[in-house]
Amino acid sequence: MASTSDFRNGFVMEFKNGYYTVVEFQHVKPGKGGAFVRTKLKNVETGAVIDHTFRAGESVTEVRLERRRYQYIYSEGDLYYCMDEETYEQIPVNGSAFGGATDLLSENLSLTLLLKDDRVLIVELPNFIEAEIVATDPGVRGDTATGGTKPAKIAPGASVNVPLFLNIGDVIKVDTRSREYMERVSS
């Protein structure tokens, strides 16, 4: 058992007949009355986000998840096949475990799978990926003075806003958590 003082981003607990991960939390100590913890919880299986308030010190059931390194290989429909980096065993992973980040997957990408009783609950992508720009409008000379951006499609399939000076064929670094352009790696 754990209590609200153990909350941190990514904390997984059993709550309302499901597994929920803490997305945000805030300890509040009002002038009158007892302290409480305001949280935003995400259902691990469905992806639904709910707000819930816990009393300070309230007990919750923490869920221990096993973390394993896998490598993404290919997809077939809504199943994404990953290979264990130690045993080379391949397993299918349902697309919902990726939390909407399937358009950032590229072959041989190293992933972290969080498992409970050999069932994949959450797939964590690396914080940053490098991808080639495959489609974007050409940059016009002189457009860079304002620091504007334009949409660009990267090789895995996602769309990212990039600076105007980038062109098709440039390799960029993208933050997978915010889907933001970080820097140009090469051109």
- Percentages of the chain per state (helix, strand, coil), in multiples of 5: 5, 55, 35
State the pLDDT at residue 43. Answer: 85
- The hierarchical CATH code for the domain 128-186 is 2.40.50.140
Instruction: Give the β-pairing of 110-116 and 171-175.
Output: unpaired
Both tokens of residue 110? 């190293």
Q: Are 164 and 149 in contact (CB under 8 A)?
A: yes
CATH, domain 66-124, list 3.40.50.2300, 3.30.1330.40, 2.40.50.140, 3.10.580.10: 2.40.50.140
Tell whether the torsion through CA atoms of 179, 45, 66 and 23 is positive or negative: positive
CATH, domain 2-62, list 2.30.30.30, 3.40.50.300, 3.30.70.20, 1.20.120.1750: 2.30.30.30
Q: Are 80 and 92 in contact (CB under 8 A)?
A: yes
Q: Does the fold of domain 128-186 match that of domain 66-124?
A: yes
Mean pLDDT by 10 residues, the chain (187 residues): 87 88 90 91 83 92 89 92 92 86 91 87 89 85 68 91 89 91 87
